[in-house]
Structure 1
Amino acid sequence: MSDKPSEEPSSTPEIPDEVWEQFARDTERDIRGSAPKEPSARARLVTERLRQQEARGELPEGWRTNPAQGAKDRAGRRRRLWAVIGVPLAVAVALVALKPSLLPGDPFGSESDTAAASPLPDETAAPTGAPAATDPETPTLDEPFAGSPALRWADGASGIVPPKATAVGGISEDRVETALELTKKLLVGSNLDPKTVGGERPAAALAVLDPKQPELLDDLNRSLRTPDQDHDPLSMFSRFDPADVRLVGDVIKTRGRMTFKKGDQGGVDVRADYTFVYPVVRTDGSPEVTRTIVRRVLEVELLDPARYVATPGRLNVLHHDRDVGNTACGIYDGYLHPRFPSAEPSGSPATGPTTDPYDRSQELGADGSEPCGTVSRT
């Protein structure tokens, strides 16, 4: 047995000296790098200047914060802003895409005639020519005035606008105003009243006429009872056969003007020149729409009952004339008979010239005896 104690191997591995030396150097470097450093003189100067500016309120809010965090916050705010603005904007874009007419004007040039049509101002003088040509659109049940100059005309009685009443030739303003109002009532009752247009007796119009005027009411009543070529109620009234056609909707387009002066018999003389456009369909169920255009020139006088045999508040008719566009020729049953493009023509062949029924610049014939012709447009 040996006298030296036996040496057992250590369970901890030995670390080489060079590793310890490298560890010591790295640790010393890290300690020096992380230790607080005394700021330089320039850094102390800048810091003091910033502190003073902050105290005076000259620095923007949040200047001390982390720039990266500030950028992140700004990006978040932008995302929230777009969330608030973007959704309504997307909805608005979608609506405009579906209906461009929501935009003011016509930026895409896509407005229909109906959307683009603005009402014409009231007519105060004779036109110098026919209305300009319009797009040749076919009238429909939904758009009965498509392709017609009357699209921009006033609706019904709103298109009959008497001038401002003033005293004339010793006649008071009130009496002139009464004459103008009665003339409008006669025009409405003769051409716009649903009962008259529907072929019934034009009671509202007859009620405005003076029953003391010789022969006039007798002739009109006879023409309504037994119409013929010499006794035609269409000379005064616009009527359609309810068994044949009906109006499309309840709008009749109207345009014209009214003037007044002192009459030859000392009363208020009123002259009216108006055109009425009637869109109609057949009563057989066909959806085809056509239009009949009636122009009337009417001269009436409100006489002074103190000087003449006259009924107070009633009109004397001095002259009445009319021109009809798009009605069958040679039929004298007291009704207008519109022509439809798809239907066989009725009545006699047209022998008169082709005219534009919308041309209000020309005077009507002296006695309305021109032969029945055709129209260039309806």
Structure 2
Amino acid sequence: MSDKPSEDPSSTPEIPDDVWEQFARDTERDIRGSAPKEPSARARLVTERLRQQEARGELPEGWRTGPAHQGTKGRAGRSRRLWTVIGVAVAVAVAVVAMKPSLLPGDPFGSGSPESAAASPLPAETAAPTAPPAATDPETPTLDEPFAGSPALTWADGASGIVLPEATALGRIPEDRVATALQLTKKLLVGSNLDPKTVRGERPVAALAILDPKQPELFDDLNRSLRTPDKDDDPLSMFSRFDPAEVRLVSDVIKTRGRMTFKKGDQGGVAVRADYTFVYPVVRTDGSVEVTRTIVRRVLEVELLDPARYVATPDRLNVLHRDRDVGNTACGIHDGYMHPQFPSAAPTGDPATGPTADPYDRSRELGADGAGQCGTASRT
């Protein structure tokens, strides 16, 4: 730095050289060691932060003198180019997400995508739906993801989807009697539609054990249908069965959704109505890995009679009504099994004569359209 100030000698007293030299040395030492004597509050904060960063080694070497102008300009140019590239990438990502929000993990925008639905299973059904489930992405089911692209992805697994309503007394019928009727109905549904032995075509022993043997007509009909199934005596009217030589379940998981209600029956017992849909992912037994799904909806009405008033077996159910609708099975085959159709294979059975319907639509009444006809499933 200069040894002497450049003031006009006429306006400034002359100072000896040794005094200026001492002043220069003191000033340089003070500048290095401390901030100005009367800095502002902001200046003190900035100075202290810089000092601490330098002590921790967070500032580049030579930061006090500043980078050369050319280096600064080069780095600034590279920084601008980097941020330009990042900005373009971000803009592209935002555009893609705007067109398909389901690409984001979870459901940050409440889009109701399959991924978000999978993370948030549906609550139990407590009333009849007013519309079919919303459309889903047309994903192909696989061995690892057999319910991909299906509304059943968010449904409960197996028996956990059969949620019983809270039992209450029905006049003189006590609460525990109502609870027994509900529990027996659930056991009948499990034995008829979820029991592995039943599903793979074996005799549905667990389900038959819930039915009252003193209802002879029903037992005779069911036993005949299991022995010699045909169009008139079809075990599928009560049981969900596949031919074990043709297909097998992909896994132990069968998706279930529905509801159960109860009231006092016409014969003075506990009358229960069950309306449930079961979704079965299957694969052929010939070594193929192609997965398809068959959807079965059942409406079952039963009554637990009072054996003190009627000829009935204690804690056994009488079947009053049964109805079903099957999505994705061959038409015109009456061998007691469901025969799923695979996209890559030629159709089997007779051509469909009934209307096209959504097998996941639980808002429609069974038999309302095309009763007794074999239709086409709009989706599986």
Normalised to the residue count of structure 2, the TM-score between the two structures is 0.74
Q: How does 1:334-373 map to 2 (within 5 A)?
A: 334-365=336-367, 369-373=371-375
Find the counterpart in structure 2 of residue 251 from structure 1. Answer: 253
Aligned partner of 2:345: which letter?
A: A
The match for 1:278 among 277, 280, 283 is: 280
Q: CA RMSD in A?
A: 3.2
Deviation at 1:225, TM superposition (A): 1.3
- The CA deviation at 1:114 is 3.7
Q: Deviation of residue 299 (structure 1)?
A: 0.3
Q: Does 1:333 align with 2:335?
A: yes
1:71 aligns with 2:29: no
Q: Aligned in 2, Cα 1:343/1:178: closer, same or farther, shift over 3 Å?
A: same
Change in Cα spacing, 1:69 to 1:256, as seen in structure 2 (3 Å) is closer
CA distance in 1, matches of 2:208, 2:271: 19
Matched residue of 2:296: which SS?
strand
User: Contact 1:210–1:310 (CA<8 Å) still a contact in 2?
Assistant: yes
Query: Residue type of the partner of 1:205?
Result: A
1:306 alignment counterpart: 308
Report the number of matched residues: 308
Aligned amino acid, residue 227 of structure 2: R
* Cα offset, 1:75, TM superposition: 3.2
Q: Deviations over 1:313-365 (max 9, x none)?
A: 11111111111111001111111000111111111111111111111112112
Q: Looking at CA atoms only, which structure, 1 or 2, has the larger radius of gyration? A: 1
Residue by residue, what CA displacement relative to the aligned partner does 1:19-64 show, whole Å, maximum 9, x if unpaired? xxxxxxxxx84378549xxxxxxxxxxxxxx9xxxxxxxxx9xx9x
Q: CA deviation at 1:68?
A: 7.3
Shift of 1:76: 3.5
1:265 matched residue in structure 2: 267
Q: Which residue of 1 aligns with 2:227?
A: 225
Q: Distance in 1 between matches of 2:138 and 2:105?
A: 26
5+ unaligned residues in a row in structure 2: which ranges?
1-15, 24-37, 60-101
Residue 30 of structure 1 aligns with an amino acid whose one-letter code is D
1 CA distance for matches of 2:49 and 2:248?
75
Check the 8 A contact 1:321/1:368 in 2, yes or no: no
Aligned partners of 1:276 and 1:234: how far apart in 2? 13
2:154 alignment partner in structure 1: 152
Aligned-pair CA distance for 1:174: 0.3
Alpha-carbon contact 2:117-2:154 (below 8 Å) kept: no
The one of 318, 321, 325 aligned to 1:323: 325
Residue equivalent to 1:113: 114
**Alpha-carbon shift at residue 69 of structure 1 (Å):** 8.7
Deviation of the 1:71 alpha carbon: 3.4
8 Å CA contact 1:167–1:176 kept in 2: the answer is yes
Distance in 2, Cα, partners of 1:157 & 1:225: 28
Q: Which amino acid aligns with 1:344?
A: A
Identity of aligned residues (%): 77
Superposed CA offset, 1:150-177 (max 9, x none): 1111111111111100001221000000
